[in-house]
């Protein structure tokens, strides 16, 4: 009985908080006649389409929040009514007692776990995605594709930094700014030496600019062609 009183007090407090919140925000502004009314606009004629889109999004969000909050209030009222009727803690479907641990976690429930109405998590995606083809509709990694796909899009963004650390990746990672899938992939060039070797406008005056790829290339030369001391030696410099 003590546990039931504690849950009743908890439900009453939650009900009061929700009712007060809905009153203060006018049910998330939905008591007004239109979205324009909530922002002081009389007409949509001179508004930028992006501004109108923002207002529409905010209105849709308010509707969803209001529906969610009102459902919370409805569930609380049903639970309090069940307490008055003496049916609280008993599943509406099978008539078995609902474990105390479940009631403590979800005091508004009137179903046991097996007969809960929220058994399935929706996997439905927005209808707009059905008309989009990869790479926009899904994340696709193409090993041999030459087109700019979803993997390339991710690499473009990941170069600015991710939350991953070297231990999160399977391959060896030298720098924190190269911690993304296929970071070693060549972009904008065919051979590695193209990233550090340059010439003038007429193809003369070969210059080598030291960088990471240059260091790796030098190491490769040491392993495969020990007769050359450096890339400059190959060029005859």
What's the pTM value of the predicted model, to 2 decimals? 0.50
Output the CA angle 107-112-114, nearest 5 degrees: 140
Q: What is the CATH code of the structural domain delimited by 2-40+50-114?
A: 1.20.120.910
pLDDT at 160: 79
Q: What are 27's two structure tokens?
A: 């049910």
90 secondary structure, DSSP code: B
Per-residue pLDDT of the chain (237 residues; tens, 9 = 90+): 678 889 999 999 999 999 999 998 888 888 766 666 666 666 666 777 887 788 888 888 989 999 999 999 999 999 999 999 989 999 999 999 999 999 999 999 999 989 988 877 777 777 776 766 655 545 555 555 555 666 777 777 877 777 777 667 666 666 666 677 677 666 666 677 777 888 888 877 788 888 777 787 777 777 766 555 555 555 554
CA pair distance 216, 230, nearest whole angstrom: 11
Residue ranges, comma separated, of all CATH 1.20.120.910 domains in the chain are 2-40+50-114
Strand partners, 208: 197
Q: What is the sign of the dihedral through the CA atoms of 85, 91, 97 and 98?
A: negative
């Amino acid at each position: 009985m003590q546990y039931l009183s504690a849950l009743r007090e908890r439900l009453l407090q939650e009900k009061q908080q929700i009712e007060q919140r809905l009153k203060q925000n006018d049910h998330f502004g939905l008591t007004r006649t239109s979205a324009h009314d909530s922002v002081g606009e009389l007409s949509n004629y001179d508004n930028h389409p992006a501004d109108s889109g923002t207002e529409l999004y905010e209105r849709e969000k308010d509707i969803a929040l209001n529906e969610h909050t009102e459902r919370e209030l409805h569930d609380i009222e049903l639970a309090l009514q069940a307490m008055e009727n003496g049916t609280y803690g008993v599943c509406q479907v099978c008539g078995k007692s609902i474990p105390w641990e479940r009631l403590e976690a979800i005091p508004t429930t009137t179903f046991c776990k097996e007969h809960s109405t929220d058994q399935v998590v929706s996997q439905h995606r927005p209808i707009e995605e059905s008309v989009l083809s990869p790479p926009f509709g899904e994340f696709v990694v193409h090993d041999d594709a030459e087109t700019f796909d979803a993997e390339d899009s991710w690499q473009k963004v990941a170069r600015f930094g991710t939350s991953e650390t070297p231990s999160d990746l399977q391959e060896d990672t030298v720098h924190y700014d190269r911690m993304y899938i296929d970071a070693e992939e060549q972009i904008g060039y065919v051979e590695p030496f193209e990233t550090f070797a340059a010439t003038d406008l007429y193809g003369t005056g070969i210059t080598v600019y030291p960088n990471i790829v240059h260091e790796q290339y030098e190491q490769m030369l040491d392993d495969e062609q020990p007769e050359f001391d450096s890339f400059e030696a190959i060029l005859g410099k």
